[in-house]
Amino acid sequence: MPAVKPFATDHLRRIPLYIPGKPIQEVRRELGLDRVVKLASNENPWGPTEAVKARLARAIAGTEDEGLGLYPVSDGYYLRQAIARRRGLSIENVLLGNGSSEIIEMMAKAALLDGGSAVIPQHSFAIYGIATQTVGGRVLETRADLHETSVDAILAAVQSDTRLVFLGNPNNPTGVLPGRRALERLVKGLRDDIVLVVDQAYAEYEDPEGYADATAFLREREGLLVLHTFSKIHALAGLRVGYGLGSPDLLQLLERVRSPFNTNHLAQVAAEIAVQDQAFEAFSRGKNREGRQAFIAEARKHRCQVSGQGGNFLMLESALPAQDLFQELLRRGVIVRPMQGYGLPNHVRVTLGKPEDMDAFWRAAGPLLDCGC
């Protein structure tokens, strides 16, 4: 029997595979460990809140107009309304995705439907490139720094067929925060027919006073899409829900490539509670700040190079290749994220977890790092 040879095989093989953080169950199963600590996917260990859980329980119990047997509200009207209220925008400025990853995919699909390119800084979230290549777009990777956004490199990389520019605010995995001036230069300096996608998955971890929120530029630029997620500070990664903020015209175009019912009912009702809970955000932000300071102090004791400004993660540079350090830590029951696939062969990214999880990390990593950071 001839082997199955799907069309576009070569094209498909060139698309990098997304390698997610290893699930705890998988490490337990593979290594026969009892206690496993996951610091690999930038989840918030302090939630979800009791209010979210109570709302989920009610939704599962069901009523006449909600229940697991009914389709969800396809366009997520009520959640969009709650997000719009929180962000000081109107409901037409809000689009939901099955995680913000899905909105990145929708944006790539819509913009690169008939070809074109996307500018993506080096060491950016892998889905930007994967989504671009999946729809046949070209990736224009620009040189990037571990400490600041290289706006000149981004502007210089733009070509006549460029339709998208991706930028993390802060960037994952480097934690670089572009700041207001860099955002303003891109908002004003990019051609009008390019959509600037500013990914703010970790925005809520920043001090609201000092944070340069790209939403402030929505009135100035039609071609601007700002992304947020419920997977990080809101602690709802398992429910898969994120949102995009943009002009009604841009979002109506994205609506054409949105799958019907792309966010499920449980995700919508949980996120509707979460987006209003500013006290939980502030609590998580405080815990993250403490965790960051403690991590940097501990890294200093081991004379390790740490990088990262924003988000709920940091990167450690080690003399060991990232993959080896990752494997050694796995054997000791700690999951981190090796960064060789992000062009950083000696870096691992570590999510800031609860203090007891960070203790477990340092007990496992300390002796390995003392051999040379």
What order do you get walking across the sheet with 305-307 strand by strand? 305-307, 313-317, 347-351, 337-338
Site for ligand PLP in 150-179 (CB under 6 A): 168, 172
Select from 44, 49, 101, 284 the one that contacts ligand PLP (CB under 6 A): 101
**Could you give the CA distance from residue 151 to residue 258 in angstroms, rounded to a whole number?**
31
> Least CB distance from residue 363 to ligand PLP, whole Å?
26
| Closer of 197 and 368 to ligand PLP (Cβ) | 197
233 lines the binding site for ligand PLP (CB under 6 A): no
H or E segment and range at residue 196: strand 195-199
H or E segment and range at residue 118: strand 117-121
Number of residues that bind ligand PLP (CB under 6 A): 13
**Which residues are CB-neighbours of 263 under 8 A, at least 6 positions away?**
72, 76, 79, 96, 97, 98, 240, 241
Instruction: Specify the pairing of strand 242-245 against strand 224-229.
Output: antiparallel
- Name residue 31's amino acid: L
| Closer of 73 and 131 to ligand PLP (Cβ) | 131
**Could you give the CA distance from residue 61 to residue 130 in angstroms, rounded to a whole number?**
39
> Least CB distance from residue 165 to ligand PLP, whole Å?
15
**Which residues are CB-neighbours of 276 under 8 A, at least 6 positions away?**
82, 86
Site for ligand PLP in 194-223 (CB under 6 A): 199, 201
Nearest alpha carbon to residue 182 among 138, 128, 144, 219:
144
Closest-approach residue to ligand PLP (CB): 99
Q: Would the CA dihedral through 126, 129, 131, 134 be positive or negative?
A: negative
| Closer of 201 and 336 to ligand PLP (Cβ) | 201
H or E segment and range at residue 351: strand 347-351
339 lines the binding site for ligand PLP (CB under 6 A): no
Select from 142, 149, 174, 231 the one that contacts ligand PLP (CB under 6 A): 231
Binding mask 242-261 for ligand PLP (x = CB under 6 A): x-------------------
122 lines the binding site for ligand PLP (CB under 6 A): no
> Least CB distance from residue 237 to ligand PLP, whole Å?
6
Site for ligand PLP in 276-295 (CB under 6 A): none
> Tokens 């953080």 correspond to what residue?
21
Q: How many residues does the chain have?
A: 373
Choices 47-55, 79-87, 95-103, 112-120 (CB under 6 A): range interacting with ligand PLP: 95-103
**Which residues are CB-neighbours of 57 under 8 A, at least 6 positions away?**
none
> Least CB distance from residue 197 to ligand PLP, whole Å?
10
125 lines the binding site for ligand PLP (CB under 6 A): yes
100 lines the binding site for ligand PLP (CB under 6 A): yes
Site for ligand PLP in 37-56 (CB under 6 A): 42
Select from 237, 253, 257, 373 the one that contacts ligand PLP (CB under 6 A): 237
Nearest alpha carbon to residue 167 among 136, 206, 125, 134:
125
Q: Which residues bind ligand PLP (CB under 6 A)?
A: 42, 99-101, 125, 168, 172, 199, 201, 229, 231, 237, 242
